Structure 1
């Protein structure tokens, strides 16, 4: 499934991105306002959504809220340079990653590929693998995770990051490792993407028997999923 939905009120920009994505083998759908975009994004026809933050009437943040209310489709946000507040809010609401405008079609396409590569990564052929760490159970082939038997509602990127931590349970994983393996790109300077995703994960995961979060920050080193 390689269909991309572009949601942006800038018709010229959408046209340029569409042309490049199609040359790279993607099928592209377009929406020029948030309401239409939210309906299309939750239709089940798209592998990924590229969503602009700055749109009239229903902006990108509110559009993302509507999408996340009923869909876990990967969402790549387009944000203005310096829009840190919108960028962080978008990540907190469940965006998978962001690209800062202006950006080139090549950069956008590379970021789309990186997200889809992790989301659709081929699994081992030796049968279904189950990752179990304490009360956490993950089924990577099914993209499914539970805590104490209850299903966790995770975005694509949250699942990727949690899987990396589960495979390295008990060991500190650096933010750069998490970015490269979970997002498909090196960690940029001052990039808070990983921190925001891990904060969201911490709220979704349960606690250990002593009340601590099972997901711990290791100062200046990274994050660790604790075995219990």
Structure 2
């Protein structure tokens, strides 16, 4: 995994610490983007593609707890709190909010890098395990190992990209999947303005193939301004 550069979002209103964290991660071979408040951090996360987020807690406006909660509602990307708040209650609240780890300032750069890599490894293992597990919802079944998709027991004639898209949506378990996330996950290319049209066309074809077997149910919902999700 270390052969692939990991991109980290760093959000901290203390510019000196934020840049120190970013430089530490870059020195370890990772990419790092810095934002200095919660709102701009959320905008960067929503518009970008990151493998992990490092968050401060005490920030004006949108604090780290609320930002972590927003991220967790939208994604399973690992989150590490980096905070001067060292009370047990703060650590417990951070982990309950959805963070994967909690590091207290002042921090040792080598320890931070080790914790980041540990979280990235766990996330990678979880993705590999989830990617190989059969997925099912309301008569729709997808088996990533055999790459066979069925609806009510009838095999669907899907293209490789349609299959991967359906597997991503099912694997999200009802969470909306952004257009950028779908494109970069299926096409394995950087998202460009024209990429949204490719996603939309494939979604339309996928819906048509599902409707050919079962026209009474809606399987894929459009979340305007966000992306798509499997209907509950």
Could you say which TM-score interval applies, normalised by the shorter chain? Answer: 0.5 to 0.7
- Cα deviation per residue 1:150-189 (whole Å; 9 max; x = unaligned)? 9387xxxxxxxxxxxxxxxxxxxxxxxxxxxxxxxxxxxx
Q: Which residue of 1 aligns with 2:92?
A: 88
Q: TM-score, normalised by structure 2?
A: 0.52
Q: How does 1:1-150 map to 2 (within 5 A)?
A: 2-121=6-125, 123=128, 128=132
5+ unaligned residues in a row in structure 2: which ranges?
136-142, 146-166, 176-232
C-alpha separation between the residues in 2 aligned to 1:113 and 1:83? 25
Bigger fraction of residues in helix: 2
Deviation at 1:38, TM superposition (A): 1.3
C-alpha spacing 1:16/1:43, structure 2 compared with 1 (3 Å): same
Q: Which 4+ stretches in 1 moved above 6 angstroms?
A: 139-146
- Cα deviation per residue 1:107-164 (whole Å; 9 max; x = unaligned)? 111111000011123959xx93569xxxxxxx99989998xxx9387xxxxxxxxxxx
Q: How does 1:160-179 map to 2 (within 5 A)?
A: none
Of residues 173, 178, 188, the one that matches 1:151 is 173
Q: Secondary structure in 2 aligned to 1:151?
A: coil
Query: How many residues are paired up?
Result: 144
Root-mean-square deviation over aligned CA pairs: 3.4
Deviation at 1:82, TM superposition (A): 2.8
Asked whether the equivalents of residues 79 and 87 of structure 1 are also in contact (C-alpha less than 8 Å), the reply is no
Asked whether the equivalents of residues 11 and 36 of structure 2 are also in contact (C-alpha less than 8 Å), the reply is yes
C-alpha spacing 1:55/1:140, structure 2 compared with 1 (3 Å): farther
Which structure has more RCO (C-alpha within 8 Å, separation ≥ 6)? 1
C-alpha separation between the residues in 1 aligned to 2:118 and 2:97? 20
